[in-house]
């Protein structure tokens, strides 16, 4: 090894340690092959930087090395997490944790979500902690539901959601049923670094799976989850009589049987399942990206089945079924794939419509809350202003909305709905996270109800905008794997006139009226120029407000190599010049791309078509 890695003692030590610790013959062999081949650059990528444990947990490619998801890094992560929980909860051994997993697998390295979940269970059981390990694949929402339902200290979901097939992830929930937020992430990361040596029992999955500390919550959670979401079924008689035809795809993920069960719980006709995609398949053979947010390319087979069966609506979950996409056939025969913001408007309107039908007390609305992330459409704010309920925005991600929802619920408030533009919807407070299963059934009921009124989803969306004001958004991203390029781009925006903290005042023909930088904590709208929302120096996020009422946010993704941008223009209720509004937004987006991205443009990849 010394001959191959001469001059890099740190890498030499990291590889030696790996070969000493790893008991998975496949990953061990892959590393030994890299050594024999003299693949120093590959080894550097795999061993120079450990995966960073953040508020989203872990997400990376499966394979050998400290930068990848594999048996050893799962054990090390779980040992750290377990030690941190022992430090926080004196009753961890009474309450326990829940662990779920999706259907991902990686034949080359021998890694799979089920294998990783078993190893995590073995770590906790070795310390005398009860583990509620699901006996089969589940949607991600089952884990936060189980944490709350069973009163556990924490939950782990092994999934990479909609990431490419080679990836996997490790998502963590706190005792409140929401994803962890800071400072838990930093403290868990520190505990992981302090517990890198595998405990002997951590590898003993067979013994752990026979332990009396291991419990299977599948049947109980399955039954109780569907009971909980049934509370949001308000038009059962209409559902029973509805002849609306809906197609559903789980995109080779876990969602099929659970969405079928959700439709049954709502007395809706079962959706037609896309046969080629209904069963879990970690190879995702029919799609380039297993992400329904990408739109038509992922829904081609769904559209074909809908044409065959005469269905007018398509529902699609991502592989772990925590997100939902919807498309509708239009009068001209073409399919409209709704954006996440448009679905936020439709689902938000529907949830409020149902709530209003159930509540006759005029004062009850004052206790009602709607939430969305700061990069999502402000349509919920418009609804709240007109209807008299409350609206709050949070930082990007359901970890923030879930924790805020829990705070409000603990104060005796009612949280009706929360959403983010990345097709994530929380319609039921029993799950303090996005949930594509309950959202699918609730959307199915909305479609059936609208059909009795002779209305399509598209027509209802227009009605919402006519009542609450048009909210037109346009979002996209650039792919960038180089952190130096990303830093350069955002630093340039922060030093517009050559001094730190000076931001652009104009973008093309558009005047910038305010700037909020949640990386540095600056907000020109606040009297003291200090941002109200939490800030994070480890991620990039700047929001520009424009004199024409437009808002644009640029941020880096926490789980993918992307620089995302989000833009929205809003009109007052009654302003129906949508064409002019769209043109103004198009011009604004073009100006943003030319002014803010241009210097680095040749180092960025545009969003794939």
Neighbours of 522 (CB within 10 A): 18
Instruction: Pick the closest to residue 477 from 597, 319, 297, 345 (CA basis).
Output: 597
307 Cβ partners below 8 Å, 6+ apart? none
Do 417 and 370 form a contact (C-beta atoms < 8 A)? Answer: yes
* Residues 6+ away with beta carbon under 8 Å from 444: 239, 246, 263, 266, 268, 271, 315
- Residues contacting residue 551 through CB under 8 Å, at least 6 positions apart: 543, 544, 545, 567, 568
Shortest CA distance to 366 belongs to which of 390, 393, 392? Answer: 390
For 220-285, the DSSP string reads HHHHHHHHHHHTT---HHHHHH----EEEE-TTSS-HHHHHHHHHHTTPPPPEE-GGGSS--TT-T
- From the candidates 67, 118, 148, 161, which is the catalytic residue? 161
Round to whole Å and give the CA distance between 318 and 173: 20
Q: With beta carbons less than 8 A apart as the criterion, state whether 393 and 49 touch.
A: no
Note if 67 is an active site residue.
Answer: no
* Residue recorded with tokens 């099929």: 256
CA–CA distance, 391 with 371 (Å, rounded to integer): 6
Q: Which residues pair with 356 in a beta bridge?
A: none
Around 480, how many Cα atoms within 13 Å sit in the side-chain half-sphere? 24
The C-alpha angle with vertex 326 and arms to 405 and 347, in degrees rounded to 5, equals 35
Residue located via tokens 């517009």: 496
Q: Which positions are annotated as active-site residues?
A: 161
């Amino acid at each position: 090894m010394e001959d191959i890695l001469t001059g890099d003692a740190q890498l030499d030590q990291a590889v030696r340690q790996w070969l000493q610790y790893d008991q998975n013959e496949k990953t061990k062999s892959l590393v030994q092959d890299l050594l024999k081949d003299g693949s120093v650059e590959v080894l550097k990528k795999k061993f120079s930087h450990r995966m960073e444990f953040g508020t989203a947990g872990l997400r990376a490619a499966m394979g050998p090395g400290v930068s990848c998801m594999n048996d050893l890094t799962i054990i090390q992560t779980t040992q750290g997490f377990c030690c941190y929980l022992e430090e926080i909860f004196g009753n961890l051994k009474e309450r326990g944790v829940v662990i779920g997993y999706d259907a991902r697998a990686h034949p080359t390295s021998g890694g799979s979500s089920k294998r990783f979940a078993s190893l995590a269970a073995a770590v906790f059981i070795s310390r005398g902690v009860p583990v509620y390990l699901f006996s089969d694949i589940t949607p991600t929402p089952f884990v936060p539901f189980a944490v709350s339902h069973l009163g556990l200290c924490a939950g782990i979901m092994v999934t990479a959601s909609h990431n490419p097939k080679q990836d996997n992830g490790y998502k963590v929930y706190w005792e409140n049923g929401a994803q962890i937020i800071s400072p838990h992430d930093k403290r868990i990361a520190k505990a992981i670094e302090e517990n890198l040596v595998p405990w002997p029992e951590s590898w003993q999955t067979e013994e752990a799976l026979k332990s009396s500390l291991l419990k299977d919550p599948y049947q109980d959670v399955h039954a109780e989850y569907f009971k909980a979401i049934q509370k949001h079924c308000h038009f059962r008689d209409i559902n029973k009589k509805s002849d609306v035809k809906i197609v559903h795809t789980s995109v080779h993920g876990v969602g099929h049987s659970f969405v079928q069960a959700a439709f049954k719980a709502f007395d809706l006709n079962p959706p037609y399942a896309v046969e080629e995609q209904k069963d879990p398949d970690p190879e995702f053979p029919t799609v380039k990206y297993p992400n329904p947010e990408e739109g038509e390319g992922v829904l081609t087979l769904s559209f074909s089945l809908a044409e065959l069966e005469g269905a007018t609506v398509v529902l699609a979950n991502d592989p772990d079924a925590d997100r939902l996409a919807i498309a509708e056939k239009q009068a001209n025969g073409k399919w409209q794939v709704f954006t996440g913001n448009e679905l936020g408007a439709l689902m938000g309107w529907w949830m409020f419509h149902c709530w209003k039908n159930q509540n006759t007390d005029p004062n009850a609305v004052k206790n009602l809350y709607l939430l969305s992330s700061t990069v999502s459409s402000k349509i919920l704010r418009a609804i709240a202003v007109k209807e008299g309920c409350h609206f709050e925005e949070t930082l990007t991600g359901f970890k923030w909305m879930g924790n805020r929802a829990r705070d409000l619920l603990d104060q005796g408030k009612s949280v009706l709905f929360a959403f983010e533009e990345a097709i994530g919807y929380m319609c039921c407070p029993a799950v303090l996270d996005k949930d594509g299963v309950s959202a699918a059934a609730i959307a199915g009921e909305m479609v059936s109800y609208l059909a009795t009124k002779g209305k399509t989803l598209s027509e209802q969306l227009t009605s919402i905008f006519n009542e609450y004001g048009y909210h037109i958004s346009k979002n996209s991203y650039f792919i960038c794997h180089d952190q130096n390029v990303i830093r350069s781009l955002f630093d340039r925006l922060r030093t517009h006139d050559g001094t730190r903290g000076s931001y652009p005042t104009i973008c093309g023909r558009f005047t910038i009226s305010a700037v909020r930088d949640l990386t540095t904590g600056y907000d020109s709208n606040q009297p003291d120029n200090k941002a109200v929302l939490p800030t994070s120096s480890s991620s990039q996020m700047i929001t520009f407000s424009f004199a024409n009422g437009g808002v644009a946010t640029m941020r880096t993704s926490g789980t993918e190599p992307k620089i995302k941008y989000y833009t929205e223009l809003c009109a007052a209720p009654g302003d129906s010049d949508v064409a002019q509004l769209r043109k103004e937004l198009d011009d604004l987006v073009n100006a943003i791309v030319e002014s803010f991205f241009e210097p680095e443009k040749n180092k960025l990849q545009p969003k794939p078509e």
